[in-house]
Amino acid sequence: MADENCLFCKIIAGKIPGDFVHQDERCVVIRDINPQAPGHVLVIPREHLESLDDASQKDEGLLGHLLRVAARVANDLGHGESGYRTVINTGAGAGQSVFHLHVHVLAGRPLGWPPG
Ligand code: AMP
Ligand code: ZN
């Protein structure tokens, strides 16, 4: 169920523009508006889930799909060989700022570890 106050629900519904690089029946992928690496996209389920914490057993297939799409898009964008990082921030303390579950895919520069 879409949340009318949710930024990503609005982008998925076409009410706010997004730079889409992939769309399927379960998720969309858009370029991050404030990229933290040369390649930075967001894999976003069409269904509104606030965070990973909101996912339940019925969402296991969806979560697997999001990760498979992340890998496919990273490869399609040319980052398969050099590598890429997938990140899910869960909760404000971990850096989540948009409360609609999404997977960051970061690539195109050396990525330090541990992350900040
Ligand atoms: P997080 O902080 O993990 O919740 O990630 C939210 C991400 O959404 C941030 O990296 C933002 O730069 C990104 N973002 C915010 N608004 C937009 C937008 N209109 N289009 C694309 N990405 C956005
Ligand atoms: Zn939403």
Give one DSSP letter per residue of 55-76, joined into a string. Answer: --GGGHHHHHHHHHHHHHHHHH
Residues with active-site annotation: 102
| Residue with CA closest to ligand 1 atom 20 | 33
Distance, in Å, from the CA atom of 10 to the CA atom of 4, rounded to the nearest integer, reads: 7
With beta carbons less than 8 A apart as the criterion, state whether 85 and 112 touch.
Answer: no
All domains of the chain, ordered by start, with CATH?
7-107 (3.30.428.10)
Ligand lying closest to the C-alpha of residue 8? 2
pLDDT tens readout for residues 7-24: 999 999 999 999 999 999
| Strand-pair category, 20-23 with 84-87 | unpaired
Ranges of residues in the chain with a pLDDT under 70 are 1
Q: Is residue 34 in contact with ligand 1, taking CB distance under 6 Å?
A: yes
Q: What are the structure tokens assigned to 87, written together? A: 């990140």
Of all atoms in ligand 1, which is nearest to the CA of residue 99?
A: 4
Three-state DSSP at 51 gives coil
Query: Would you state the pLDDT for residue 10?
Result: 98
